[in-house]
Amino acid sequence: MININNESKHNNKRILTEQINLSSNDLDSKSTNEIVNIFSEADKEPQKAVEKAIPEIVNAIDEITLRLQSNGRLFYIGSGTSGRLGVLDASECPPTFCTNPDLVQGIIAGGIPSLTRSSESLEDLSEIAITDLKDRNFSSRDALIGISASGRTPYVHGALNYSKSINALTISISSVPETDSTLNNDIDIRLITGPEILAGSTRLKAGTATKMALNIISTSVMIKLGKVYSNRMIDLSISNDKLMERAIGILFDIASVDKETAIQLLEKTNGSVKLSLLIALSGMDVIEAKNLLNHSKGNLRTALIMFNSD
C-alpha cells in the first residue's frame, strides 16, 4: 500500500525537478533526430548550473581538504541515481589516486544491491541513513556530501541532520532552489538545471550536473593533497598494462627518462610514480627521496622546491 503523507496530499506545487519541460512536449511524436537535438540542447544546462555554483564548490573543496589533511574522511550519501553517482565517484579514487578505500566512501540507501536494483522505498527512511553512517564510524572529523536532486529525500535529510548534530562538515548537493527545499548544511551547492526532458527523471540533467560537480570536487581535493603534479596523476595505482604505460609516459614527460630507466625506477620504488619522479629529477637515492617526500607531506612540487633551495 502506498503511504501518502499529509504534505503530499495538500501541496499541489510541483518542485522544479518535477515540472514540465515545454521544449520536450510531444516528445513521443518526434523523429529520432528531433529527440537527440532536444537532448543535446538540454545538456548545455548542467555546465551552466555548475558554473553558477562555483563559489560554493570552491568552499567545499577547501573545507574537505582541511578535513582530510587532519585524518578525516569524505562520505557521499544518497539514494537512487544520486547514491549511485556518489558510489561511482568514491570507487574511482583508489585506482586514480592510490587512496585508501576508506578515505572517500559512497553510501547508497539499500547498500550494494541498490547499485543495480531499485530500492526506492528506502529513500523515505531517514533513520536508516543515520545507521549507515554510524556503521562507518562517521565522526566530527569527517565530511559528508548529501546528494538529493529534489532536495527532499528523507534518507539524505536524515544524514545531513545527523552530520550537523555531531559537527562534521556537512555539504548538500541538490537541483532545486531554496524555495523548494531547505537543507541542513554548512555548504549548500545548488545545481539548478530546470525541468527534465522526461518530467521528474533526474538521472538526466540533474544527474549530469551532479556527476560534473563530484568530478571537480574529488579531483580538486586530490590535487590539493599532492596527488597531482602539473596535470599528471602521480599517485596512480599501477594495476594493469595500461596504467604501467601511463606511468612510464609520465616519467618520460616530466623527467625525460627513457622506457628502460622508467621501468627500473618503478621497480626500485615498488611502483611509486611520485617517488620515481623525485629520484629522477633530484638524483637522490630511494631513502633520501622518501625522507624528503615525508618532510614535504607527500607533495612532489614542495619536495623539489626544498631540494633546489638546499
C-alpha 271/C-alpha 287 separation (Å) is: 15
The DSSP bridge partners found for residue 78 are 108, 147
The DSSP bridge partners found for residue 187 are 171
Question: Does the active-site annotation cover 123?
Answer: yes
Question: Does the active-site annotation cover 92?
Answer: yes
One-letter amino acid at 194 equals: G
**Cβ-Cβ contacts under 8 Å for 171 (sequence gap 6 or more):** 60, 63, 64, 143, 144, 145, 146, 185, 186, 187, 188, 189
Residue 116 in contact with residue 87, Cβ under 8 Å?
no
Which of 151, 150, 156, 145 is closest to 123 using CA atoms? 156
Q: Is 49 helix (H, G, I), strand (E, B) or coil?
A: helix
The DSSP bridge partners found for residue 174 are 190
**Pairing between β-strand 232-233 and β-strand 228-229 as defined by DSSP bridges:** antiparallel
Q: According to DSSP H, which parts of the chain are helical?
A: 6-10, 32-42, 45-52, 54-69, 80-97, 126-135, 154-165, 205-224, 241-255, 259-268, 273-282, 286-295, 300-309
Catalytic residue among 92, 127, 196, 288: 92
Torsion of CA 50, 54, 56, 62, to 10 degrees: 120
C-alpha 206/C-alpha 194 separation (Å) is: 8
Catalytic residue among 45, 56, 123, 196: 123
Positive or negative CA dihedral for 266, 269, 272, 275? Answer: negative
**Which residues are annotated as catalytic?**
92, 123
